[in-house]
Chain A
Amino acid sequence: MEDVGTAFRIVFLTSLLGIVNCAFIYVVIFLVRWFTSSRKGGVEET
């Protein structure tokens, strides 16, 4: 039978990695917003 303590360790690592990846997504959204708004007015949007 597997160890419940190790299971909680997996959950802790998963939570940490999950929050880090969500932060990545958050940064991507802002970078994309900055990049697309800086190109506005220069290139016609189709």
Chain B
Amino acid sequence: MNFPNIWDFFPGLHSFALMEPSHAIIRILLVFLGVFLVYMGYKEKLDPLLMLPLGFTMALVNAAILIMGEGQLGNLFVDPMVSEPDKLLDALQINFLQPFYNFTFANGLIACLVFLGIGAITDLDFFIARPFLSLFLAIGAELGTLLTLPLAVALGFDFKEAASIAIVGGADGPMVLFTSLILAKHLFVPIAVIAYVYLGVCYAVYPYLIKLMIPKKLRAIHMDPSEIRNVPSSEKFAFAIVAGVILCLIFPVAAPLFACFFFGVAVKESNIARFREFLDILLSGATLFLGFTLGALLSVTVVMDHRVFLILILGMVALLLSGIGGIIAGLIACKLSGGKINPLIGIAAVSCVPTTAKVAQHCAMEADETIMILPHAMGPCVAGVITTAILCGIYVTLVPLF
């Protein structure tokens, strides 16, 4: 009678012995990083809505590697690389997140659902009351989205890959997912994962950039919320329909995103309570499963792709440049208005709704506890979503022509 090998009782531990030492070390580091992200989310130092599910599954998926069929190492969460129909069918039945990944993540549906929910919580008041200021700040905050493209090309990426990476500078997760799915599907997983991790981190990093670039005296400029024109719901509703139709006409490739965002806005302004409650729950569910799936994708095999390091650097550069662009636009607006506009609302134009608006408010309150600039900051924040969507539409339309 042959006794089984002792390692057969501990397949997870046995998989360490079967890996290259460098992969094994990275795998352990990823487990600890996942635990660290969960802790940071729990303490609300990073966005908990994303970091809790992402960090959790990241730690667990790297712990749960085992020997699959044909002696390959893998996990029972998700295999993003499987594409042959018969292997995909097997994966759909075995990997518990595979159906969710293939039917909502890999086809962009989850991006559209998140965008639907974002539209339903977006307040258009300041954007419609001060459209020129909001759009000016938003264009400044797209500096990273624009300048990262030639930088990525210089580092060896082709135009489509470079555009997919550059969209990270728009600081909008659904847009990043959508663009990389259309232009560079083979880089979809690392780009999406890096973009969302960075978006969670920017809440912690942008305040340092702000303190470096904006003097305390300017951060303490008061802006009175009562100065914002009261925009009736009918006007916001009409804008949602008209702008949605026009943008879909100009950029039909990006129509699913525009449709979802503006429909969410229309639902909010139409005040249909049942739809609003449903979209609220939908946003929470989509965000939870998005974080869960992203964490499951952060396994050692994805991280060890040699281009991930370059994408890590470029993503960081893109978000940094966008932050710098937004702050410069805010400082210009402050100067041209004779000191009436707080330049902090420029950082809100980096469209991570509503994170960057909250960053602006938080930094303003550090300078003066009585300041309330959040309503004003939401205008460029919303404008940032629209300008990023426009740039996404331009990239997916224009870049394939070159």
| Contact surface of A with B, Cβ cutoff 8 Å | 1-4, 6-8, 10-11, 13-15, 17-19, 21-22, 24-26, 28-33, 35-36, 45
B233 contact set on A, CB distance < 8 A: 45
0 or 1 for each of B157-196: is its CB under 8 Å from A? (1 = yes): 1110011000000000000000000000000000000000
> Can you pick out 18 interface pairs between chain A and chain B where the beta carbons lie within 8 Å of each other?
A7-B149, A7-B162, A8-B150, A11-B146, A11-B147, A17-B394, A18-B142, A21-B250, A22-B387, A24-B246, A25-B135, A26-B132, A26-B135, A28-B243, A29-B131, A32-B239, A36-B232, A45-B232
Chain B interface mostly: helix
B235 contact set on A, CB distance < 8 A: 32-33, 36
Pick the contact of B387: A18, A29, A35, A45 (CB < 8 A). Answer: A18
B398 touches A18 (CB 8 A): no
Q: Which of B14-34 contact A (CB under 8 A)?
A: none
Cβ-based interface call for B128 (8 A): yes
Given contacts A18-B394, A25-B386, A45-B232, contact A6 B239 (CB under 8 A): no
B239 touches A28 (CB 8 A): yes
* Complex CA–CA separation, A8 to B152 (angstroms): 11
* Complex CA–CA separation, A18 to B246 (angstroms): 14
B128 contact set on A, CB distance < 8 A: 29, 33
B398 touches A17 (CB 8 A): yes
Cβ-based interface call for B198 (8 A): no
A35 touches B238 (CB 8 A): yes
B158 touches A14 (CB 8 A): no
B395 contact set on A, CB distance < 8 A: 14
B154 touches A22 (CB 8 A): no
B402 touches A10 (CB 8 A): yes
A21 contact set on B, CB distance < 8 A: 247, 250, 390, 394
Cβ of A3 to closest chain B Cβ, rounded Å: 8
* Complex CA–CA separation, A36 to B154 (angstroms): 49
Residue of B nearest to A1 (CB): B156
B246 touches A10 (CB 8 A): no
Cβ-based interface call for B153 (8 A): yes
Residue of B nearest to A30 (CB): B131
Please give 7 more A-B residue pairs, beta carbons under 8 A apart, in addition to A2-B159, A14-B398, A32-B242.
Answer: A10-B159, A13-B398, A14-B149, A25-B131, A28-B243, A35-B238, A45-B233
Q: Which of B226-270 contact A (CB under 8 A)?
A: 232-235, 238-239, 242-243, 246-247, 250
Cβ-based interface call for B378 (8 A): no
Interface centre among A13, A17, A25, A35 (most CB of B within 10 A): A25
A11 contact set on B, CB distance < 8 A: 146-147, 149-150
Given contacts A7-B159, A13-B398, A29-B131, contact A19 B150 (CB under 8 A): no
Cβ-based interface call for B281 (8 A): no
Cβ-based interface call for B50 (8 A): no
Residue of B nearest to A15 (CB): B146
Cβ of A18 to closest chain B Cβ, rounded Å: 6
* Complex CA–CA separation, A30 to B150 (angstroms): 35
Given contacts A14-B398, A32-B239, contact A19 B149 (CB under 8 A): no
Cβ of B172 to closest chain A Cβ, rounded Å: 15
* Complex CA–CA separation, A18 to B250 (angstroms): 12
* Complex CA–CA separation, A28 to B163 (angstroms): 28
* Complex CA–CA separation, A31 to B238 (angstroms): 10
* Complex CA–CA separation, A24 to B386 (angstroms): 12
Cβ-based interface call for B304 (8 A): no
Cβ of A2 to closest chain B Cβ, rounded Å: 5
Cβ-based interface call for B391 (8 A): yes
Given contacts A2-B153, A7-B159, A32-B235, contact A22 B391 (CB under 8 A): no
B398 contact set on A, CB distance < 8 A: 10, 13-14, 17
